[in-house]
Amino acid sequence: MREDSTRVLIADDDRVTAAILGKTLRRWGLEVVEANNGLDAWDLLQAPDRPALAIVDWMMPGLDGLELCRRIRQQESLAALHLILLTARDDRGDIIAGLDAGADDYIIKPFDLEELRARVRAGLRIVSLQQRLAQQVRELQSARDELARLAGTDMLTELHSRRRWFELAASEFARCQRYRRPFSVLTADLDYFKQVNDRYGHAAGDAVLKAFAQVLRLQCRGTDAPGRLGGEEFAILLPETSTRVASDVAQRIVNACRALTIETAAGAVQITCSMGVASVVLPGDTIDLLLQRADEALYRAKHNGRDRLEVEQIAPATATIRAAS
């Protein structure tokens, strides 16, 4: 819902007073809506284009002004509504009671039109300031959300940043361990990437990194989380994923990378990647140990000719522990 700062609600069962108020406010360029009892006034305040200021008479049938003020202040969406209580009661105790009920201002009948105008203007200034403040808060929240997104995003590839990837890894790893679910990690490294930079330039190297990031997005599943750890090093989280399925994902990435041709200003570039696969299989595993084993598999892939994947190797003694667990 939004509040219209040019609309004013008049709630008064005295037709003469309401007519004078309405005519005066309209002459001042304000749009006026009227209610002759508290219940109708309450209904008008629930409208999508509800007024931003209300002039409410104390004595009304159905729901008097004091009770209407209390009800308004109990509804969070009406917190910014500026309330002026209109009444013939001029006793100090009545004024205090009206303000305590939720009124922002108090006008005593018979009222002076210039005083009324000054109080309405003051109320609308407050409403305008509140609306601007609310807009600034929304803009700040949006900016904060964008900063948080950028902090968690690698600016070049738009994959998860290193920091964000490790945050996700820690969270997903803990969850899978808690519920004894499978969990896998892939590491990837572009083969001979330094030669790409040396031969074609860093702009071409950036284009290659972005193209590979797109390969990861296309080949990974919706539940996977690819990230760039730095340079040409990438990692992918695969929650709820066995070694066999993780290997299938890695093979798709290797195949797609091999088939990739990146057109750059310096010429067409073709690349390959090497990948390592590791899964949570050991008692006392941590995400760092898992990543270390995936890296070791990745180094074997490079040693064995690149453009391929390798799966972690578990020592015989460790395999016995795994079988028993």
In this structure, what CATH number is given to the domain that contains residue 178?
A: 3.30.70.270
**126 and 203, same structural domain?**
no
| The pLDDT value given to residue 284 | 79
Q: Does 319 have pLDDT greater than 50? A: no
Instruction: State the Cα–Cα distance between residues 300 and 306, nearest whole angstrom.
Output: 9
pLDDT for 4 beyond 70: no
Give the pLDDT band (50/70/90) at residue 34.
Answer: very high
Among residues 3, 232, 310, 312, the one annotated as catalytic is 232
Pair (58, 143) in one structural domain: yes
Q: pLDDT for 68-126, tens place per residue?
A: 999 999 998 888 899 999 888 888 888 899 899 999 999 988 888 899 899 999 999 99
Residue 306 resides in a domain: yes
148, pLDDT greater than 90: no
Q: In this predicted structure, what is the pLDDT of residue 151? A: 72
Decide which of 147, 172, 194 is a domain's last residue: 147
The answer on pLDDT for 169 being more than 90 is yes
Give residue-wise pLDDT tens across range 250-286: 999 999 999 999 998 888 999 999 999 999 766 778 8
Indicate whether 121 and 226 sit together in one domain. Answer: no
Q: Is residue 156, in this structure, part of any structural domain at all?
A: no
Domain that residue 109 falls in: 2-147
Chain-centroid distance, C-alpha 116: 43
Whether residue 184 sits in one domain with residue 70: no
- Is 202 among the domain residues? yes
State whether 197 and 130 are in the same domain.
no
Please say which residue of 85, 113, 147 terminates a domain: 147
Q: Check whether residue 129 and residue 248 sit in a common domain.
A: no
Please give the mean pLDDT across all residues of the chain.
88
* CA distance between the termini of the chain: 57
Q: Are residues 137 and 216 in the same domain?
A: no
- Bridge partners of residue 228, in order along the sequence: 234
Residue 168 lies in a domain: yes
Give the model's confidence band at 232: pLDDT under 50 very low, under 70 low, under 90 confident, else very high: very high
What is the per-residue pLDDT for 178? 86
* 70 lies in some domain: yes
Mean pLDDT (whole number) for 283-299: 90
pLDDT of residue 145: 67
pLDDT of residue 48: 85
CATH of the domain at 139: 3.40.50.2300
Q: Dump pLDDT digits (tens) for 194-221.
A: 999 999 999 999 999 999 999 999 999 9
306 with 278, same domain: the answer is yes
Band (pLDDT 50/70/90 cuts) for residue 141 is confident
**Whether residue 174 is found in the same domain as residue 205:** yes
* 232 a catalytic residue: yes
Region label for 240, one of left (φ > 0), alpha (ψ between -120 and 50) or beta (otherwise):
left
Same domain, yes or no: 140 and 215: no
Q: Model's pTM, two decimal places?
A: 0.57
Clarify whether residues 169 and 315 are in a common domain.
Answer: yes
How many domains would you assign to the chain? Answer: 2
pLDDT at residue 318 is higher than 50: no
285 in Cβ contact with 248 (< 8 Å):
no
Least confident stretch, 33-42, 148-157, 164-173, 271-280: 148-157
